[in-house]
Structure 1
Amino acid sequence: MKRRQSLLLPFLYRIKRAYSSFKLKSGIKLGLIKSIMIIPFKGFGSEKEIYFVARILRDRKIGTSDAKDGRWRNFRKMYKRFMTWEIPNIRVKATFFGNEAIALSDEEGYVEFRIPVPADCHFSNQWQEVHLELLDKVIPKQGEVKAMNRVFLPSEHLEYGIISDIDDTIVPTGATRLWQMIKTTFLGNAHSRIPFPGVSAFYKALEKGRDDIESNPLFYVSSSPWNLYDFLMEFLEVHHIPKGPLMLRDIGLSREQLIAGSHFDHKLAQVEKIFEYYTDIPFILIGDSGQHDPEIYLQVIKDYPGRVKMIYIRDVQSSRHAAMEEIQLKMQNLGVEMLLVTDTLDAARHALAKGWIQKSDVIDIAETKKEDEEIK
């Protein structure tokens, strides 16, 4: 089977690229592409450099959602997110405190930037602006195409970092049940998707830590496609979940794979990238039992001894209890505790007992959880 795939893959990939090129040229010629947009994905950095990704696409005017939007409107917006018109081989300039970098968009329209941080920069807050500009002309009457991105830079008040999954960790999606996940994704919106009770208050408590300063960074690592970026960012904002870089993945046919990247490899690579940028703080990792987050986090513990402070796993799949117990034991032998929870408040009480969050915040989490449950 693998040999057949290896022989078929180059052929299928050439067909895909030919079709994408034909679609783009035809769209420009027929005037179907009326405007181009830069979609910046929030980034992060250290005292040495910043890192972020952006994507160049036809602007399909998706806009934000409304609590009153019906299923058909939600479906149309989601359809536009996935039926993209990628703009390859276009130069994009990024400017950060006088430092400039130019990157070329790849075949899927992505550009990746790593920009040095000027040594004499002093930042008043943790989120800093990066300005992006398209340097090449794609369509007639294009005009200026610009965007502004934000990147997280650590302050001196960091106690620890938090890395969290999203699907079935923050919000129920049925990620282990394909049809349920498809319905939830394509027929809902940021308002109709409701987080697990108490999640927003718990994440705010972790962000503040012990010193009551909102400085501990949150990173959201998911196997969802980049096509859902604006949807997920809106979801975090609507439900008052602390903002942070959102690290997703590209899906579909690539040169190397029929479906670009596995869940395990993608999430492991992103978590370890974060660890490489922040070498002097420990991390709390949060996930669920449905999509092998515990296995991924176990590998992180092995690769980065002493860097993982705690692991919280939301129990969403009872059939994996035996596997969870085995992983718990392996982590314990490596000096890291993994707590399996069904209730956000249990994780909060544990964090309080460890001295990582404040007692007043646990009271807020309990009250928020009760309010969320009444809404549901």
Structure 2
Amino acid sequence: MSSGKNSFSKKYVLPILYPIKKTFSKAKLWTGIKTGLVKTVMIQPYKGFGNSQEIYLLGRVLRDRGIGISNLEDSRWRNFKKMYKRFMSWEIPNVKVKASFQGLEQEVITDEEGYFEINMKSNTPFEINQPWQEVELTLLDRIVKNQGEVKVVGKVFIPSGNVEYGVISDIDDTIVPTGATRLWEMLKTTFLGNAHTRLPFAGVAEFYKAMEKGTDGIESNPFFYVSSSPWNIYDFLTEFLEVHGIPKGPLMLRDIGLSREQFIAGSHSAHKLLQVEKIFEVEKQLQFILVGDSGQEDPEIYLQAIKDFPGRVKKVFIRHVAPEREKSVQKIAEEMETLGVELLLVKDTIEAAEKALEKGWILQADVGVILKGKEEDGNY
């Protein structure tokens, strides 16, 4: 769609469609509650992050559809049904959620899609005895009959101890092959697979664990994952990281669907840049290694982040998955170099690990572990 047509649609079509969608969603939820289709509700917290005096956490209030975890032997049909439930969500708008953390409390109201945002700041430093801290989240409104207490614990990562650097990584075609540039391949992979059957690129888990340990051997360097995947598959991606031994960390995803401002989803690059820079703003004491791929716009996004936050990026690794983009990526690399940051276009994980070792960011012993992991995973 041309920019002119897109502008026309947003100006004249969207104001008509959005109220219809909003009315339908409201009627659907009301009917679901009255008929008993919606029997239980849940708070789904997304892992957050913070510093010594601030925490940032997102979450969503939804109908509890009991999706649960996956198993290796799950059929494609079972995987499809679970993914269908994730996307056919029943969001709960305009309800109050209370967050409690180390004597601080904050009440927020969910938006039209059931999302809420917690941003707490303290005048005094928090008591940090471990990196992962718990935030208590409580639903204050009664939604369904016999609801009982709806309470959950959210997790926020607050870097502590000897942190050498942070890592911000893309997911699709950076950690796991998805064919993000090929729509049908991406849809098939997403809807018919599960956390066990989807496999990361060879050696990625070992490389990321090596960076998590850094040079002191302590798993204290934080990881953040920024992706244009929808929040609907948050639990799927969290389980994927856990199943394959990839360091856990906050996932910054995006909302999709019709809203006041958009038809399907917001700009891929605008979303990712916003999330990367949000991490920079909160984790202001850290420098970062950025990891992405050449298939979409990661090089352009990271270049802009470097311009906006000088001195915060140590290195950029870009997995070479789109040969047709090689020249444009190299041009971006030249511009990054003038800003004091090296972009390395790598063909595989081993090349990235060797460069990280050369820079003194990981241990020599871990390179052997990465090589072994790559051989065991296969050459893909």
2:112 corresponds, among 83, 107, 110, to 107
Contact 2:53-2:125 at 8 Å conserved across structures: no
- Residue in structure 2 matched with residue 97 of structure 1 by the alignment: 102
2:211 alignment counterpart: 206
Aligned to 2:360: 355
Deviates more, 1:13-22 or 1:272-281: 272-281
Query: Within 1, Cα distance between the matches of 2:106 and 2:68?
Result: 29
* 1:135 paired residue number: 140
Equivalent residue, structure 1, for 2:50? 45
Structure 2 counterparts to residues 272-287 of structure 1, below 5 A: 272-287=277-292
Q: Deviations over 1:221-279 (max 9, x none)?
A: 00000000000000000000000000000011111121231100000000000000122
Asked if the contact 1:99–1:118 (Cα under 8 Å) also holds between the matched residues in 2, the reply is no
- Runs of at least 4 residues of structure 1 off by over 3 A? none
Shift of 1:207: 0.7
User: Displacement of 1:61 after TM fit?
Assistant: 0.6
* CA contact 2:54–2:120 (8 Å) conserved in 1: yes
Partner of 1:316: 321
Residue 273 of structure 1 aligns with an amino acid whose one-letter code is K
Give the aligned residue type for 2:191.
F
Give the letter aligned to residue 68 of structure 1.
E
Q: Distance in 2 between matches of 1:340 and 1:350?
A: 11
Paired residue type of 1:95 = S
**Structure 1 residue 322 displacement after superposition:** 1.1
Q: Please name the residue that 1:75 is paired with.
A: 80
Equivalent residue number for residue 23 of structure 1: 28
Q: Tell me, in whole angstroms, the C-alpha distance in 2 between the residues paired with 1:278 and 1:62.
A: 33
Aligned to 1:217: 222
Query: How far does the alpha carbon of each residue in 1:265-300 deviate from its partner, in whole angstroms, 9 at most, with x for none?
Result: 000000000000122221100000001100000101
User: What's the counterpart of residue 256 of structure 2?
Assistant: 251
**Residue 154 of structure 1, CA deviation:** 1.2
Kept after mapping to 2: 8 A contact 1:134/1:145: yes
**Equivalent runs, 1:54-203 vs 2, <5 Å:** 54-117=59-122, 119=124, 121-203=126-208
Aligned AA (2:135)? V
Instruction: Classify the secondary structure of the residue corresponding to 2:257.
Output: coil
Task: State the distance in 2 between where 1:164 and 1:157 align.
Answer: 21
Deviations 1:117-145 (A, max 9, x none): 47264222100001111110001111111
Task: Give a deviation string over 1:180-230, Cα, whole Å, max 9, x none.
Answer: 000000000000000000000100111111111111110000000000000
When the two chains are superposed, the root-mean-square deviation of aligned CA atoms in Å is 1.1
CA distance in 1, matches of 2:306, 2:368: 31
1:369 correspondence with 2:374: yes
CA contact (8 A) 1:165 1:221 kept: yes
Structure-to-structure mapping, 1:260-279, within 5 angstroms:
260-279=265-284
Q: Secondary structure at the match of 1:154?
A: coil
SS of 2:56 mapped into structure 1: strand
Structure 2 SS opposite 1:56 = strand
Aligned AA for 2:197?
S
Question: Which of the residues 237, 243, 246 maps onto 1:238?
Answer: 243
SS of residue matched to 2:378: helix
Looking at structure 1, the residues matched to 168 and 320 of structure 2 have their Cα atoms a distance apart, in angstroms, of 17
> Does the 8 A contact of 1:97 with 1:118 survive in 2?
no
**AA aligned opposite 1:119:** T
Listed as ranges, the gaps of 5+ residues in structure 1 are none
| Equivalent residue in structure 2 for 1:6, among 2, 11, 18 | 11
TM-score by structure 2 length?
Answer: 0.97
Which stretches in structure 2 are left out of the alignment for 5+ residues?
none
3-state SS of paired residue (1:201):
helix
Percent identical across equivalent pairs? 62
Aligned length: 375
The normalised TM-score by structure 1 is 0.98
Partner secondary structure for residue 166 of structure 1:
coil
Separation of aligned partners in 2, 1:286 and 1:117: 32
